[in-house]
Chains A and B, each alone.
Chain A
Amino acid sequence: MYYYIINPAAGKGAIDNIQDKLKSTLHQLKIDGEFAKTLGRGDAARITKRALERGVKTIVAVGGDNTAREIIETLYKGGHHEVALGVIPIGKRNVLASHLGLTSWRQACDVLSVRRLAEFNLIRCNQDVCIYSCGFSPLPISKEGPVEAVETDLDYRVNIDGHYQVSGKASGLAVLNQKFLRNGLSNGLVLQIYPPHPSAPSWWKRLRPWGRQAATEQPAYSQIHANKITIEFSHATQGLLDGKKIISQHYNLSLSEHSLRLITARDIANSTPVN
């Protein structure tokens, strides 16, 4: 049985316009089930726990990334690795849905009926977990006062699997599950390091008649594969875990021992349609 957890606030109340059409579509596809609406932040977790107590095996997040994240955290912390999670994207942010190849609520319904499952390990970051990415950036500067915000860079030091250290300056860092990057890749961590902001405005470099270097191709970011990543910054930074904000100077990242089963549109290795 499918259990649909709907966030009525997602996408500025998008469900109001599509609710009847959604239920009709699910009925036609023979995947209708029970529906529950959240009342506010944190309510998706409460409803998920209630559904799990009743033995539900498939939960569908009808909302955006925040709704999906609450359900994922609840499944992970409760050790419910056998439960499958689907997504019908109607929220403001639907990054997880896009990683699963979901482009609209109608297409997501078709994907739910096919029920192609893929297993994804979660990314553990300090005391939290996330499913697709952790981003690290300088803390936002207050906009109050006459001084304009200045672009700042991060001084970082990263330990990769206890084997080597990476250091430098960066405008930002990100850690992702590589399985989302390309079909055929297994679960694994990827560290992306974005280059620091340019030290001088481009017009100044154009004026300089000397020291011009031939333009050389540089990567948009550095990329390193790892199982365990420890990041240390010179100052406290903002971490964004699937949209959830945390602040710290030190981050320990690793893959979860157990994976989560997600219903996906993508032809990911090890994914199989389940009747």
Chain B
Amino acid sequence: MAKASSFEPAANETVIASGVEIKGNLNAEQDVWFDGVITGNLSSQGGVSLGSNARVAGNIKGATVAVAGKVEGNVRADRLLVQAGGQILGDMYTHSLAVGEGALLNGNLRMSEAAKSKNQPTQQSSA
């Protein structure tokens, strides 16, 4: 049986392993690697990576967001990657999207220029 490997977090990263539960809003300045459970919003000025065990009941915001776990909330990102097994049950705001086979998306998708993570989409643009 293959042995699960472990990695050493980089000094300025926020890393939450499986088995850790968070209540409240987590705001990080640098990259976030998340494989736990959070009831609240998760945001970073850098990247956000959700592992396969991650469960997020809240919104996510980051420059680059990669999802291999489950999100029940909205996601805002400049670049959004939903990996196989990843689930997003909420709206997505991004201008670059990649979805792996087997991923589940159930919500509205906005990919216009106004959908960049810095801006709030306020009205629908005319076609």
Contact = CB atoms under 8 A, between A and B. Distances in A.
> Interface of chain B, helix or strand or loop or mixed?
loop
Interface residues of A, number: 30
A218 interface: yes
Interface stretch (B16-24, B72-80, B91-99, B107-115): B16-24
**Which interface residue of B3, B22, B51 has the most chain A CB atoms within 10 A?**
B22
Interface stretch (B27-35, B59-67, B118-126): B27-35
A181 B21 contact: no
Contacts of B25: 163-164
B3 A164 contact: no
A95 to B, nearest CB: 17
Contact of A185 (B2, B6, B12, B24): B12
A164 B16 contact: no
Given A224-B16, A225-B14, A225-B28, A219 B22 contact: no
A180 to B, nearest CB: 10
Most A Cβ at <10 Å: residue of B8, B12, B28: B12
A72 B22 CA distance: 35
B19 A185 contact: no
B81 interface: no
A215 B2 contact: yes
Contact of B4 (A168, A193, A217, A224): A217
A165 B1 contact: no
A205 interface: yes
Contacts of A212: 1
A182 B30 CA distance: 15
B56 to A, nearest CB: 13
Contacts of B16: 166, 222, 224
A218 B4 contact: yes
Given A163-B24, A164-B26, A219 B11 contact: no
A164 B23 contact: yes
A221 B9 contact: yes
A88 to B, nearest CB: 27
B17 A206 contact: no
Given A163-B27, A167-B21, A218-B18, A223 B9 contact: yes
A214 B1 CA distance: 9
Contacts of A223: 9, 13-15
B122 to A, nearest CB: 28
B13 A215 contact: no
Interface string A173-216: 00000100110010000100101100000000110000010111
Contacts of A182: 11-12
A165 B22 CA distance: 6
B46 interface: no
Interface of A: 163-169, 178, 181-182, 185, 190, 193, 195-196, 205-206, 212, 214-225
**Nearest 9 pairs between A and B by C-beta?**
A164-B24, A182-B11, A215-B2, A181-B11, A215-B4, A223-B9, A223-B15, A222-B17, A220-B6
